Structure 1
Amino acid sequence: MHPAARAIYLDWNATTPPHPEVLAAMQSAAEVAWANPASVHGPGRRARAFIEQAREAVARLTGFDARDVILTSGGTEANNLALCHAFDERCGALVVSRIEHPSVTRAAEALAGRGVHVAWIDPEPSGRVAPEAIAAAVDRAAAVAPVRLVSLQAVNHETGVVQPIAEAAAIVHARGARLHVDAVQAVGRLPPEAWAGADLASIAAHKIRGPKGIGALAVRPGIRLRPVLLGGAQERGLRPGTQDPLAAAGFAVAARRAIGGPARYAALAPLRDRLEAELVEIGRAAGAAPIRNGDGDRAPHITNLSWPGWRGDELCAALDLEGVAVSSGSACSAGTAEPSPVLTAMLGPERAASAVRFSIGEDTAEADLVEAARRVARVLSRLRSLRAGS
């Protein structure tokens, strides 16, 4: 990248830049909330207040009761806590789709190793998990063991495809099971209807312009969780370890801002569509017109494209040299040699290996996308020339 060229960040699904109000709140908290929030003295109570403010803000954002919000280290821990709570010595069955986040699929695989019967649901090529497929998987699993939990994300982290959560909830509840919704990519971007009907919902602060290292699992009243960590009595013994009041202060501000997030993200849809159309034309001119991955209803800020004849990770690396930050899969799978398991399950390994995800956010300007498209064209032209000369 030329030293004078500005960096363009188009990887908002991986993480969002912390909002200035979040950083200011954390700086202010650092001056007064450095004590251990579990301590009963004055400094401890002042620190504890920030923990409870975060809990209440998350409750308002998600539609759950503050008493039923467990603060965690992020979405991964929240997902693990949600999946593991239903399976003790009783075992039983878990139903989960093939396109979930690694923190869900790997937790499911670990539960299967402990004797839990796991029924996997294949997605449609559109990226949607069909309600009929959910019903069939639950009924199939119930013939083996009592179905205790179904886990389904609200918005896919790679394609942005929105899943039929309300329909899934009706199916799951009619069969006497619970529904866990990984709402990490939906909260603050889509209205609460996106996770309506969830018995347990996971969120992460850093996806809503908050700090990393903190998230939450919100649960319906009456659900008894089981800890995945052992230690002290923090978070009702469900998440032992000293809480961070500074992170909580940032999380509270981010959660309050996120209530207005769906309107801000809806305004991004025309920009995303324009970028997508421009990339298709650029690719066509370079002899490799990209194909969109995920034909289902999408969140308004994501486009995932496969570039025939090109490797997605190579395109990402070349764009990084041009100062454009994008990704070829889940950030939690970065560094692996395998293509995206999400896109492999949807469309096969070839499409998965050539995929690049562009995700924009509320600070993305139209000028950023115009310049990003210009740099994509430059990268494709350069790579094409290199191939021709080899």
Structure 2
Amino acid sequence: MTDLMPRVHQPAADTWPSLARPRSNPVRRAGAMAAIRLIAKDLPATIHLDNNRSYGLGGPAMRVHRSSAFLDRLGQDAGSGFGEAYLAGDWDPEPGTDLADLLVPFAERFSNEETRHLLPKWAQSLRWLVTRSQPGDQENDRAGARENVSRHYDLSNSMFAEFLDPTLTYSAAYFGDAATADLATASYDELTQAQLNKLDSILDAAGVESGSRVLDIGCGWASLAIRAAQRGAWVTAITIAPQQALLAQRKIAEAGVSDRVQVALRDYRDQIGEFDAVLSVEMIEAVGERYWPVYFDAIERRLAPGGVGVVQAIVMPHERMLATRNTFTWVQKYIFPGGLIPSIKVIEDVTATHTGLHVDVIRHLGADYARTLRIWRNRFVDRWPAIADLGFDHTFCRMWEFYLAYSEAGFRTNYLDDVQLRLTRR
């Protein structure tokens, strides 16, 4: 992958005030350094500090250009400091080291039960000093959900079009046996067919055919709605991102299915009517824990007798969800405000307690998502000159590279999974 950034990046202070170097605190800096030493004892990666000291067991390597700033960020905010240090240019992978390959050993530490609690108990008890809670302004009521979703999905239709496949499908593709192939062979040319495979797998699971009435909750840029309409279904596709809705309508018209698909700028809580299939792809992550019961109740209420729901969701192990659900992470701060990834168990519990729905896991797509993310990141970097022409700066590029690599590492280590769930009435 081409290295687009200067080796020591410096973000624009007026554009990225959150990346201003935090006030130095010797105690917190010392605590961050102690944590690095503990983590690096068994870490199959290498951390090179700018004082020529190195930690770790070898393997993928990172170079810290500004150790003091790096430690200050880690010491101030355990949830965001590492990622913010990358955005600020405090560290980079060593030349020749892929960013996701570097992040995998760190992700493994948090996905492995035996190595997750690396800090001694006395240190774990002090984590609250450097762990922040979710801010109240990211609440996912109707107004808050519109703001949160718009901050990501209305960034720029043109930007998303540069790195997604031509269907503009922004969720895990389905590669089948190819999902576990060497990621170095991942090619943009294979992405469109894999996305169509995923769309078809959802429609097949829901039994969508000619004449079916379909509701697509959180429709994205309408690739699933278009695919359903091409089967002869009647589709209502809803989103709360205005710019996304405009492009979705254009894509529907270009596909020649405007007579079968209605796009509405509408919250899922406000939808009415009955449908033979209710579909929702990777939207639950933006719902928020407080509204999970409302979300699944809305799905149940919209299902006609005998109807089927299919939800594709990013999930994490239940105990990790419980441990992190009240923390404010780098992803929530910079990528998905108000977001929270559920577990399969919590989905089963919520549906059992608040609805009459039964949940079946029909497919795991974790390896497929890792491959999807590698293709997106390669494409994003390759198309960066065109994206930069849209008005985005180098810090934005670093932010999206880190987000895509960080997510890829999560799926490669099973810290994250992606599942397709079939919902039927009990």
TM-score, length-normalised on structure 1? 0.29
Higher relative contact order (CA 8 A, sep 6+): 1
